């Protein structure tokens, strides 16, 4: 009878140990983030005053840092030492990835956003070797520095936090205050 109890106790201990060792692996699988399937726009800072918002055809200056969604690896930044110059482009002309053309609409000078961009609005199946793999979702921290050459100083925009309503702007993308 004692042998049977020891055997059952041993089986029970082995099962508990096995479950304990598997728990971190199972938990990490459950907490892994899924890549976005649509553009996600998070507003980190919105100036209190916003006289002008970006629209298609505007020439904008944007500081940014780009990372892979999968592991957070930084692949590019306009703020790198020795660079420090914002990227200038015309919104809606296809000179940047679609996620930028859509994600930077209705933005104020001085506003900071996080764009979570699905692969289909980034570089898609081709990627951008060697730094961006195929079908990679991307995350960009962005800050709008100027619209059509007019920066925050000339626009009168102040760096005060404003309440964001969390609703979608006319660009149709989901926005949230971060």
Tell me, yes or no, if 64 is annotated catalytic: yes
Longest alpha-carbon distance in the chain: 89
- Mean pLDDT split into 10-residue runs, the chain, 178 residues: 56 50 50 88 95 96 98 96 94 97 97 98 96 97 95 51 40 54
Tell me, yes or no, if 171 is annotated catalytic: no
- Tokens, residue 46: 């919105």
- 69, 89, 97, 117: which one is catalytic? 97
- 41, 64, 132, 147: which one is catalytic? 64
Residue that the structure tokens 């990627």 belong to: 127
Q: Contact at 8 Å (CB) between 104 and 97?
A: no
Tell me, yes or no, if 89 is annotated catalytic: no
DSSP helix/strand/coil, 9: helix
Per-residue model confidence (pLDDT) at position 33: 86
Within 13 Å and on the Cβ side, how many CA atoms surround 109?
Answer: 22
Tell me, yes or no, if 76 is annotated catalytic: yes
Tell me, yes or no, if 155 is annotated catalytic: no
What's the 3-state SS for 9-73? HHHHHHHHHHHHHHHHHHHHHHHCCCCCCCCEEEEEECCCCCCCECCCCCEEEEEEEEEECCCCC
Q: Contact at 8 Å (CB) between 59 and 93?
A: no
Q: What is the DSSP string of 81-117?
A: TTT---EEEETTSSSS-HHHHHHTTTPBTT-EEEEEE
Per DSSP bridges, beta strands 87-90 and 112-117 are: unpaired
For the entire predicted model, the pTM comes to 0.71
> Residue 105 and residue 173: Cα distance in Å, rounded?
10
Tell me, yes or no, if 97 is annotated catalytic: yes
């Amino acid at each position: 009878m004692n042998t049977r109890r020891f055997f059952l106790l041993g089986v029970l201990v082995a099962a508990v140990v096995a479950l304990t060792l598997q728990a971190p692996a199972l938990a990490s699988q459950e907490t892994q983030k899924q890549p976005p399937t649509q553009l996600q726009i998070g507003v980190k800072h919105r100036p209190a005053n916003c006289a002008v918002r970006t629209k298609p055809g505007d020439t904008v200056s944007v500081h940014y840092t780009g990372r892979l969604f999968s592991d957070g690896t930084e692949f590019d930044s306009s703020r790198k030492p020795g660079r420090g110059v914002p990227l200038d482009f015309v919104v809606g002309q296809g000179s940047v990835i679609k996620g930028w053309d859509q994600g930077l609409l209705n933005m104020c000078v001085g506003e900071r956003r996080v764009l979570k961009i699905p692969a289909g609005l980034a570089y898609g199946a081709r990627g951008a070797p060697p730094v961006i793999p195929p079908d990679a979702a991307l995350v960009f921290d962005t800050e709008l520095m100027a619209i059509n050459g007019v920066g925050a100083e000339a626009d009168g925009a102040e760096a005060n936090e404003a309440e964001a309503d969390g609703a979608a702007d006319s660009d149709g993308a989901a926005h949230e205050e971060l």
